[in-house]
Amino acid sequence: MLETVGLTAFYGDFQALFGVDLSLRVGETVAIIGANGAGKSTLMRSISGVIANGRAAIRFEGEAIGDLPAAKVVARGIAMVPEGRRLFASLSVEENLLMGNYGRKVDGPWTLGSVYDLFPILKERRDQSSTSLSGGQQQMVAIGRALMSNPRVLLCDEISLGLAPVVIRDIYAAFPRIKASGASIIIVEQDIGQAMKVADRVYCMMEGKVTLEGRAGDLSRDAIHAAYFGVHA
């Protein structure tokens, strides 16, 4: 349903992606792993429209969307949980969630109520400023906010960044329900273990290229290690 075709991306003169081919099928969860600076976030920003690309480089449900701005991409059903959470500091928890469906109001499983069911602590904190929450709770708001648009595709960029292992486990515990709601998911992680557990397929990136792709169960630790660090362990 979503694919990138020889995707390249630049920051000014600096090239960050060199011909990335990636595909996501309906209902699938794909993990993208790779070291810091590999280009994972750049890939997410390209798909979500934060970075403009060639029109044909990204296809979604049969249409070329590479040149669409972010607002048009989310309207089509691709929502992003950005790296670093990026909550709106002057909005309350509930207002942050409500921003999630600003540009895409469709009927679906996700409403304020079902997001609060998924993350009950957010209901208690609904009127608090988003900056007053713990890191894990902020991440829940960021995920809930993206879900509010009832996305067809959910992009999650390093949702475990800076969180304690028990908190990471809590957050990943939500993924079976997100999957069951019908969203296809791309999870970007540096933490290989967590990503492998939820993913059907894995892409490994290094220096702006995909170095390895395969079913999560089929890849050996050595192969991943080599693709991740560029050396044979």
Partner 1 sequence: MNWLDTILQGVLLGGLYALFAAGLSLVFGIMRLVNLAHGDLIVVAAFLILVLVTGLGLNPFLAALVALPVMFAAGWALQYFILNRTLGDDILPPLLVTFGLSIVIQNALLEGFSADSRRVPAGSLETMSLPLGPVTVGVMPLLTFLSAIAVIVVLNQIFYRTALGRAFRATSDDMVTAGLMGVEPKRIFATATGIAMVVVTIAALYLGTRANFDPTIGPARLIYAFEAVIIGGLGSLWGTLLGGIIIGVAQTVGAAVNPEWQILAGHLAFLIVLLVRPRGLFPRAID
Ligand X SMILES: Nc1ncnc2c1ncn2[C@@H]1O[C@H](COP(=O)(O)OP(=O)(O)O)[C@@H](O)[C@H]1O
Best CA proximity match to 118, nearest among 76, 179, 161, 74: 179
Phi, psi of 224 (to 5 degrees): -65, -45
Closest distance between ligand X and the C-beta of residue 174, in Å?
A: 22
Closest distance between ligand X and the C-beta of residue 187, in Å?
A: 13
CA gap 87, 136 in Å, rounded:
12
- Of the candidate residues 98, 216, 223, 226, the single one contacting partner 1 (CB under 8 A): 98
37: partner contacted, choices Mg ion, partner 1, ligand X, none (Cβ within 5-8 A by kind): ligand X
- The number of helices, as runs of H, and strands, as runs of E, in the chain is 10, 10
Unique residue bearing structure tokens 């890939």: 43
Q: Which of residues 23-62 bind partner 1 (CB under 8 A)?
A: 48-50
Which SS3 state, helix, strand or coil, does residue 99 take?
A: helix
Q: Which of residues 28-87 bind ligand X (CB under 6 A)?
A: 34, 36-42
46 binds Mg ion (CB under 5 A): no
Query: Distance of CA 192 to CAs 199, 225, 227, Å?
Result: 10, 10, 12
Stretches 18-26, 87-95, 180-188, 205-213: which one binds partner 1 (CB under 8 A)? Answer: 87-95
CA 19 from chain center: how many Å? 20
User: Residue type for 19, please?
Assistant: G
187 binds ligand X (CB under 6 A): no
Point out which residues bind partner 1 (CB under 8 A): 48-50, 69-71, 74-75, 79-80, 82, 86, 88-91, 95, 98-104, 145, 149
Point out which residues bind ligand X (CB under 6 A): 11, 14, 16, 34, 36-42
